[in-house]
């Protein structure tokens, strides 16, 4: 089945990791693939030590937000992301996992790094034989329709809005 965690609120990755911990705790093999992130958040650092979880980050060469990158940095990120998506497709095709998490995949689509059609094809081909979890903001209606679960996390209030910097252990 296909799960989507979306919205403008904090906690989409954390929710996907919670589901991943539940699956791993029951002996399912989880491939948790991070896109558009450097793999340095507290929950991901801990998840690397959990049995049955394979955590991979596909933004290793360049740092920062996509909209702040130079064109050469974007090209590097695009190549890393496409390699990550090929890794995901291989995991699904060869049943290397029972749950496949594509963290921040919506941002990859929105920024033209990955094709929505390619992601939809992955869901169509493997969404009935394994759990696929997608996170990010602004999924299209077609992506939402392809999902079995859609959970929207809405921002009501956040300290960032008043200038509070991200805090280690809380926001990352």
pTM: 0.90
Report how far residue 65's alpha carbon sits from residue 16's, in angstroms, rounded to the nearest whole number.
21
Report how far residue 24's alpha carbon sits from residue 30's, in angstroms, rounded to the nearest whole number.
6
Mean per-residue pLDDT, 140-151: 98
Neighbour-count burial of 51, counting CB atoms closer than 10 A to its CB (0-12 exposed, 13-18 middle, 19+ buried):
exposed
Q: Residue 28's closest CA among 135, 124, 133, 172?
A: 133
Residue 90 has pLDDT above 80, yes or no: yes
How many percent of the chain have pLDDT more than 70?
Answer: 99
The least confident of 12-21, 67-76, 83-92, 127-136 is: 67-76
φ, ψ (nearest 5 deg) of residue 43: -70, -35
Angle between helices 116-126 and 71-93 (to 10 degrees): 10
CATH topology of domain 2-155: Rossmann fold (3.40.50)
Mean pLDDT of the chain: 92
- Which 3-state string (H, E, C) describes 76-108? HHHHHHHHHHHHHHHHHHCCCCCEEEEECHHHH
Domain-wise residue ranges, the chain: 2-155
pLDDT of residue 71: 86
Report how far residue 2's alpha carbon sits from residue 128's, in angstroms, rounded to the nearest whole number.
8
Quick check: helix, strand or coil at residue 127?
coil
pLDDT digits (tens, 9 = 90+) for 32-80: 999 998 778 888 888 889 999 999 998 777 677 777 778 888 898 899 9
């Amino acid at each position: 089945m296909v799960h989507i965690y979306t919205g403008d609120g904090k906690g989409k990755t954390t929710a996907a990791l919670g589901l991943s911990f539940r699956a791993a705790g029951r002996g399912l093999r989880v491939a948790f693939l991070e896109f558009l992130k450097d793999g340095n958040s507290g929950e991901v650092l801990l998840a690397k030590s959990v049995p049955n979880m394979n955590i991979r980050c596909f933004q290793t060469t360049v740092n920062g937000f996509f909209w702040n990158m130079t064109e050469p940095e974007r090209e590097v990120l695009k190549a890393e992301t496409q390699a990550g998506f090929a890794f995901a497709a291989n995991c699904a095709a060869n049943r290397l996992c029972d749950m496949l998490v594509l963290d921040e995949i919506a941002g990859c689509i929105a920024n033209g790094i990955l094709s929505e059609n390619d992601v939809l094809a992955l869901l169509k081909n493997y969404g009935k034989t394994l759990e696929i979890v997608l996170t990010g903001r602004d999924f299209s209606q077609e992506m939402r329709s392809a999902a079995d679960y859609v959970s929207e996390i809405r921002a009501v209030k956040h300290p960032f809005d008043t200038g509070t910097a991200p805090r280690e252990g809380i926001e990352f």
